[in-house]
């Protein structure tokens, strides 16, 4: 009952936010939020790459025929 938001609820929230902040301020908030999420994902990926051990590649063998 309270777990999901339908289309009309999301639309109503958007309209209220638009009235409160205006379109320009709402666009700035969305841009800042998107940049924050992107930076968070980059940080998580870099930490994951640093903590994972690098697989050792087998030594190359010379294939002389």
What are the sequence ranges of the domains in the chain?
22-51
**Alpha helices (H) in 1-65, listed in sequence order:** 7-21, 23-51
* Secondary structure (3-state) at 55: coil
pLDDT, tens only, 21-53 = 898 898 898 899 999 999 999 999 998 888 877
Cβ within 8 Å of residue 58, ≥6 positions away = none
Which of 39, 8, 33, 38 has the alpha carbon at shortest distance from 21?
33
* Confidence at residue 1, expressed as pLDDT on a 0 to 100 scale: 53
* Confidence at residue 61, expressed as pLDDT on a 0 to 100 scale: 73
Which of 40, 18, 16 has the alpha carbon at shortest distance from 27?
18
- The pTM of this model reads 0.53
Q: State the Rg of the chain over Cα.
A: 24
């Amino acid at each position: 009952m309270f777990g999901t938001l339908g289309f009309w609820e999301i639309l109503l929230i958007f309209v209220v936010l638009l009235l409160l902040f205006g379109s320009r301020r709402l666009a700035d908030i969305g841009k800042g939020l998107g940049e924050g999420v992107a930076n968070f994902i980059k940080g998580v990926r870099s930490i994951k790459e640093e903590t994972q051990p690098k697989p050792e590649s087998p030594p190359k063998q010379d294939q002389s025929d």
